[in-house]
Amino acid sequence: MRQTNRPAALTAALLLTACAAASGTGPTDDPPASGDAARGPAPAAPAGPALSGVGECTYPMKEQYKARPWALQRVVLDELWRDTRGENVRVAVIDTGVDDRNPQLRDAVDRAAGLDLLGKGKAKDPTHDEVGHGTKAAGIIAARPRKGTGFVGLAPRATIIPIRQNDEKGKGTTRTMATAIRHAINREADVINISQDTVKPLSADSDLARAVREAVERDIVVVASAGNDGLDGKRKNTYPAAYDGVLAVAASDRNDERAPFSQSGDFIDVAAPGVDMISTVPGYGHCADNGTSFSAPYVAGVAALLKARYPTWTAHQIVTQIQQTADRVIDGHDPYIGWGVVNPVRALQEDAGRPIDKVTPDRGPAAGVTAPRPAALTLGETPQERRARLATYAMGVTAVLVAVVAGTATVARDRRRRS
């Protein structure tokens, strides 16, 4: 891990196209009129943290997404929720705010516990989300079931602590992120989701690094996105995902392979769906987006379920369970999808009640089996084979001679009889 001696603002380029939402007067179950929707302009490269999502949509949406999204189709939800749906678990979403007007988030968001680090004076509101990024992340974690849509959060009874720390202009810094983490600690978060990253090296004594350590020491599961700079194929650390104790999440596609944009590196712990991710948007409805920003909350939702089912487990044991039960393409760890693609049902049901503290590679199908000794390869004829061949020839010649002699005798006898 590279280090520098000075704390710095996160400077990775923002890969998010802003979506501006119209203002509203309060929650409503009905979709807004078409005139309420607005599309925001593409922002200039900011000097703040990069939000690890790259999509664009218009919201509020006129309609809900009716089908079950593919990322949820891979999960048997009845089996996943057999024991818990995330009750009494608090998940802090450090992002662009979490809109609580969307009907699926209205009962999920604890506005009073939130924090707005961007607004000023009376304008401070952690549920004000001009970008939609934080609202999407929160929906993947804890959106409530709703008639007319197949979309639902993985932990639909967990509580979201909204922390507005960044926007499409990248106003967030390492210091405001550290402040957000400490606020989550003080508000007794069980899980912290951070869908932001930077490739700028940060020292182990930076304010952000210290805040992460404080959260880990308080037994909070910290989940962070790996980032979307993977198209160049270069492995590099991103922060805060690469800090010790953070569960770093890459993005996978429908084939459980690394999404092309997903950042690779030895710090990757697991991967989760991050392509064509359906989730809630401010005001009403849903839209699709891509990025490790939406892989991280998928894993945070699983962590919330584990915390609810096993409240005595440590954060480290929850992280290890997620890593150990991931679907792997190799027997061990790789720098693209880590220990594998997260499997929510296996995480909740496999080895139920027995926490583990260390991830172990899978044993291959032939592990512990002695390989058979290969037979010697003979290119020529062995002496035994030659003797057998010659004996066969001799027997054949003898048989022919016997036949000739017998035939000759028979002809001679017949001639004598006729004469």
Bigger pLDDT: 220 vs 354: 220
Q: Which residue of the set 52, 95, 195, 264 is catalytic?
A: 95
Judge contact between 292 and 52, C-beta under 8 A.
yes
* pLDDT(199) > 70: yes
Active site residue 133: yes
Phi, psi at residue 248, to the nearest 5°? -90, 130
Least confident piece of the model among 169-178, 228-237, 360-369: 360-369
3-state SS track over 32-96 = CCHHHEECCCCCCCCCCCEECCCCCCCECCCCCCCCCCHHHHCCCHHHHCCCCCCCCCEEEEEEE
Q: Which residues contact 214 (CB under 8 A, 6 or more apart)?
A: 181, 182, 185
Angle at which helices 315-324 and 295-309 cross, to 10° = 120
DSSP state string for 402-418:
HHHHHHHHHHHHHHHHH
Q: Which amino acid is at 117?
A: L
Confidence tier at 37 by pLDDT (50, 70, 90): very low
Confidence tier at 388 by pLDDT (50, 70, 90): confident
Q: Which residue of the set 52, 100, 110, 133 is catalytic?
A: 133
Helix or strand holding residue 273 (H, E): strand 270-273
Q: Among the residues of 239-358, which ranges form H helices?
A: 295-309, 315-324, 344-349
Distance CA 269, CA 175 (A): 25
Distance CA 404, CA 408 (A): 6
3-state SS track over 152-168 = CCCCCCCEEEEEECCCC
* pLDDT(215) > 90: yes
